[in-house]
Amino acid sequence: MVDAHSRPAMPLQIQPERGLGWINLGSSLHSIVSRLKASPEQFPGLDIAYTPSAPITNPIIVSLAHNGLRLRFDGPDQRLRLIEILDFPLIGVAYKNIDLIRRNKPSDETQQNEIPISGPTFKHIYNRLFGPTYAGEYLPPVSGQSNGTYVLSYPGIAFTFPIKHKSWSDKIDFVSILSSTATGPATSMAIFSGNSWTETRSNLYTKTPTLPRSPALSAKSIETVPDEVEEVRVFGAGRLEFVRRSTSAFTMVLNETTPQDLVAELGPPDAIYRKHDRRISIHATGNTTNRRRPSISPGLDPQSLDTDQSSIQSYTEDSDMDTEAQEGRVEDRSDECFYNYFHHGLDILISLPQTKSPPFPGSANVELPISSSSQLVVSKVFLHGNIPGSFSFNRHRRSRWVIKTSGENRGVSLTSEMGFPEISTALREVWHETYQDAEQERQMQRGMVLNRGWAESPESSIELLGDFEEVSAPDTGDDRGMLDGAGGLNNTELFGFPGLLFEVLKNDTISCLTVF
CA distance 350 to 309: 12
pLDDT number for residue 411:
66
Q: Is residue 208 part of a domain?
A: no
Contact by Cβ (8 Å): 320, 257: no
Q: Determine which of 47-51, 401-405, 408-412, 474-478 has the lowest per-residue pLDDT on average.
A: 474-478
> At residue 454, what is the residue type?
W
Q: Specify if 219 maps to a domain.
A: no
The distance from CA 57 to its chain's CA centroid, rounded to whole angstroms, is: 12
- Examine the fold and report which residue of 172, 203, 234 is the final residue of a domain before the chain moves on: 203
Q: Are residues 195 and 231 in the same domain?
A: no
CA proximity to 294, closest of 424, 435, 440, 432: 440
Question: Looking at the domain assignment, is residue 33 inside a domain?
Answer: yes
pLDDT for position 146: 94
Res 403: pLDDT = 96
User: Is residue 116 domain-shared with residue 259, that is, in the same domain?
Assistant: no
Which H/E stretch holds residue 199?
Answer: helix 197-200
CA distance 84 to 159: 10
Q: Please state, in angstroms and rounded to a whole number, the distance separating the CA atoms of residues 459 and 308.
A: 9
- Residue 211 maps to a domain: no
**Beta-carbon contacts of residue 170 (< 8 Å; ≥ 6 apart):** none
Q: Measure the CA–CA gap between 318 and 305, rounded to whole angstroms.
A: 20
The SS3 call for residue 103 is coil
pLDDT of residue 335: 80
Q: Is residue 214 part of a domain?
A: no
Domain's final residue, options 168, 203, 238: 203
Strands (E), 352-445: 377-384, 401-404, 413-415
| pLDDT-derived band at 489, boundaries 50, 70, 90 | low
User: Who has greater pLDDT, 377 or 431?
Assistant: 377
> Where residue 10 falls among pLDDT bands split at 50, 70, 90?
confident
Maximum alpha-carbon separation in the chain: 92
Domain check: are 291 and 355 in the same one?
A: yes
Average pLDDT over residues 414-437: 90
pLDDT at 437: 76
CB 376 within 8 A of CB 350: yes
> Which has more confidence, 110 or 102?
102
Instruction: Report whether pLDDT(127) > 80.
Output: yes
Q: Name the strand (E) or helix (H) holding 349.
A: strand 346-351
Answer with the residue of higher pLDDT: 10 or 463. 10
498 and 433 in a common domain: yes
More confident residue, 212 or 488: 212
d(CA 91, CA 135): 28
Do 289 and 190 belong together in one domain? no
pLDDT-derived band of residue 367, with 50, 70 and 90 as boundaries? low
How far is it, in rounded angstroms, from Cα 350 to Cα 516? 12
Q: How confident is the model at residue 200 (pLDDT cuts 50, 70, 90)?
A: very high
Question: What pLDDT, on the 0 to 100 scale, is given for residue 294?
Answer: 43
Mean pLDDT throughout 198-227? 84
Beta-bridge partners for 338: 273, 349
Higher confidence at residue 435 or residue 101?
101
Average pLDDT over residues 374-386: 95
Please report whether residue 215 resides in a domain. no
Query: Lowest mean pLDDT: which of 102-111, 209-218, 485-494?
Result: 102-111
Query: Do 335 and 399 sit in the same domain of this protein?
Result: yes
Q: Domain count for the chain, please give it.
A: 2
Let me know: does 377 contact 353? Beta carbons within 8 Å.
yes
Pair (179, 92) in one structural domain: yes
Our measurement of the distance from residue 59's CA atom to the centroid of its chain's CA atoms, rounded to an integer in Å, reads 11
Rg over CA atoms, the chain: 27
Q: For residue 361, is pLDDT > 50?
A: yes
Report residue 408 CA to chain centroid gap.
Answer: 26
Query: Cα angle at 381 between 377 and 383, to 5 degrees?
Result: 160
pLDDT in tens, 27-37: 999 999 999 99
Write out the residue range of the structural domain in which residue 148 sits: 4-105+112-203
Q: Mean pLDDT across the stretch 47-55?
A: 96
Return the pLDDT at 317: 35
Q: What is the pLDDT of residue 324?
A: 38
Please write the tens of the pLDDT for every residue from 437-452: 777 777 777 778 877 6
Q: What is the pLDDT confidence band of residue 363, given thresholds at 50, 70 and 90?
A: low
Question: Is there a single domain that holds both residue 171 and residue 258?
Answer: no
Angle at alpha carbon of residue 71, lines to 134 and 202, rounded to 5°? 45
Measured CA to CA, the distance from residue 516 to residue 512 in angstroms comes to 13
The pLDDT of residue 143 is: 84
pLDDT number for residue 239: 95
* Residue 480 predicted with pLDDT over 90: no
What is the average pLDDT score of the chain? Answer: 81
DSSP 236-293: ETTEEEEEESSSPPEEEETTT--HHHHHHHH-S-SEEE-----GGGGGS--STT-PPP
For 263-318, what is each residue's pLDDT tens digit? 999 999 999 998 655 544 444 444 434 444 444 456 565 455 565 555 444 333 33
Average pLDDT over residues 136-142: 94
pLDDT score of 475:
40
The whole-angstrom separation of Cα 366 and Cα 253 is 12
Q: With CA atoms as reference, report the closest residue to 441 among 298, 301, 302.
A: 298
Q: Is 152 in the same domain as 233? A: no
Mean per-residue pLDDT, 455-467: 33
Neighbours of 255 (CB within 10 A): 21
Question: Does some domain include residue 265?
Answer: yes
Whether residue 212 is contained in a domain is answered as no
pLDDT of residue 114: 52
Are residues 192 and 257 located together in one domain of the fold? Answer: no
Residues 180 and 246 in one domain: no
Residues 354 and 402 in one domain: yes
Mean of the pLDDT values across residues 461-478? 34
Instruction: Pick the range with the lowest mean pLDDT from 5-19, 177-191, 327-341.
Output: 327-341
